[in-house]
Amino acid sequence: MNVEIRHSPSFAIARCTLAGGEQLKAESGAMSATSAGVEIEAKMQGGLMKGLKRSVLGGESLFMTTLTAPSQGGWVDVAARLPGDLITLPVNGAVNLTRGSYLASEASIEIDTKWGGFKNVFGGEGGFLIHATGQGQVVASCYGALDQVQLGAGESIVIDSGHVVAFDPSVTFTTRKASSGIMNTLKSGEGFVMEFTGPGLVYTQTRNPDALVAWLTEVLPFSRA
């Protein structure tokens, strides 16, 4: 599969070019267009229980879309719900993504949920992560522009939980309150942060989807009813 990302960084869309008979797995609703002859099938990857686990715990759709290129090959365009950038992540073993970041992947990639531990359950992204394993490529989305942070061995960085997109499995992390005490938390307007320790890459987004939801809830008419 060859991936070409267009219209970055504000309204990115990824064109995934497939060889004859090659398959692409995509989040439900991610497909925006295909070349002629591409077959589209929606199903629960891994069965009902695995689909429910990925949907309820990982924040992804219950169903995934499998797109199969005809014998002459073809292409599939995928795009995210929110405006922002896309990135192609090479998976050579595993990579972790936060809730809502997974968009599409090669058929060789297995998508599952991974428990991040009780110490992480109160972060903005929850205690569960999307865990991509295998050999191939994953297309991930972000809200806003994308940043990459390369951490050396033992090097740490603190990131607001709503700004995290993905990170290497070699990176360890914990989740904690941004400020000590309730009053400090209220005054700062910050909730929970994630502290990552290298070595490895951490991918972040310049906008926070949770902040968008909170703002819309506050200003929309029904919130004042």
> What's the rounded Cα separation, in Å, for the pair 82 and 143?
6
Q: Which of 137, 158, 141, 138 is nearest to 202 (CA)?
A: 158
pLDDT tens column, 150-203: 999 999 999 998 899 999 999 999 888 776 554 444 444 456 788 999 999 999
Q: What is the pLDDT of residue 216?
A: 87
**Is position 100 within any domain?**
yes
Q: What is the mean pLDDT of residues 25-30?
A: 92
- Tell me the whole-structure pTM to 2 decimals: 0.81
Q: Is 224 domain-assigned?
A: no
* Poorest-pLDDT segment among 19-23, 33-37, 62-66, 185-189: 185-189
Please state, as a whole number, how many other Cβ atoms lie within 10 Å of the Cβ of residue 156. 14
Q: For residue 15, is it within any domain?
A: yes
Any residues with CB less than 8 A from the CB of 215 and at least 6 apart, and which? none
Whether 223 is in a domain gets the answer: no
- Provide the mean pLDDT of the chain: 83
Domain span holding position 34:
2-215
Is the pLDDT higher at 179 or at 118? 179
Residue 221 lies in a domain: no
Distance CA 147, CA 165 (A): 9
- pLDDT score at 187: 41
Percentage of the chain with pLDDT > 70?
A: 77
The reply to whether 225 falls in a domain is no
- For residue 48, being part of any structural domain is answered with yes
CATH number for position 175 = 3.60.160.10
Phi, psi of 183 (to 5 degrees): -65, -40
Question: How many domains does one find in the chain?
Answer: 1
Which of the pair, 194 or 87, is modelled with greater confidence?
A: 87
